[in-house]
A = this chain, B = another copy of it.
Amino acid sequence: MSPSITLERITALLRQKGYKLTRQRRAVLQVIVTSHDHMTPSKIHEKVQKIDPSVGLVTVYRTLEILTGAGLICRVHTDRTSRSYLLRRPHGHHHHLICSDCGRVVDFTDCNLHRLEKRLAAETGFRTEDHILEFFGCCSLCQETAATKEEDRA
């Protein structure tokens, strides 16, 4: 099993890449590392301000850019107007199960689309190089919650 992503490992990597570990960046990191929900820059800013109210939204944007560049966070694909980010917990290629109720994201690594890609290449001549895949639905917790409410009403 590969070691889990911790604040220490991330800060070490950033330092190694020559980035300064400012107060502001630490706050952004803390928010991202402790969350399993995908969050917009604005939402991250809101949470960061509870740790350190002086941090500006612009700095959040800049930190997200660095973290994306370093491969430490992923952009989640949704239909929303604003972007959403998430700590990259799996090391390699992976996708997300996104709960539409609570925003929680579950990662999975084995998408197994090679067979489909091969079939499509044969049918259309298209050579695929990359793909976006995200699942939306209801996480186990929210299903339980819904079931409980259902019982209460009965």
Q: Are A99 and B75 in contact (CB under 8 A)?
A: no
Interface centre among A75, A79, A135, A140 (most CB of B within 10 A): A135
* A126 sits at the interface (CB 8 A): yes
Using A120-B97, A133-B131, A133-B133 as known contacts, say yes or no to A139 and B112 having CB atoms under 8 A apart: no
A99 to B124, CA, bound (A): 12
Q: Number of A residues whose C-beta is below 8 Å from B?
A: 32
Query: Please, which residues of chain B bring their CB within 8 A of the CB of A133?
Result: 131-133
* A154 sits at the interface (CB 8 A): no
Copies of this protein chain in the complex: 2
> Residue-by-residue, is A89-122 near B (CB-CB < 8 Å gives 1, otherwise 0)?
0000000010110000010100110001100100
Residue from the list B111, B139, B140 in contact with A116, Cβ < 8 A: B111
Residue from the list B111, B124, B139, B143 in contact with A140, Cβ < 8 A: B124
Q: Are A77 and B108 in contact (CB under 8 A)?
A: no
Query: Please, which residues of chain B bring their CB within 8 A of the CB of A134?
Result: 131-132
A75 to B117, CA, bound (A): 22
Using A75-B79, A77-B77 as known contacts, say yes or no to A108 and B131 having CB atoms under 8 A apart: no
Q: Are B106 and A124 in contact (CB under 8 A)?
A: yes
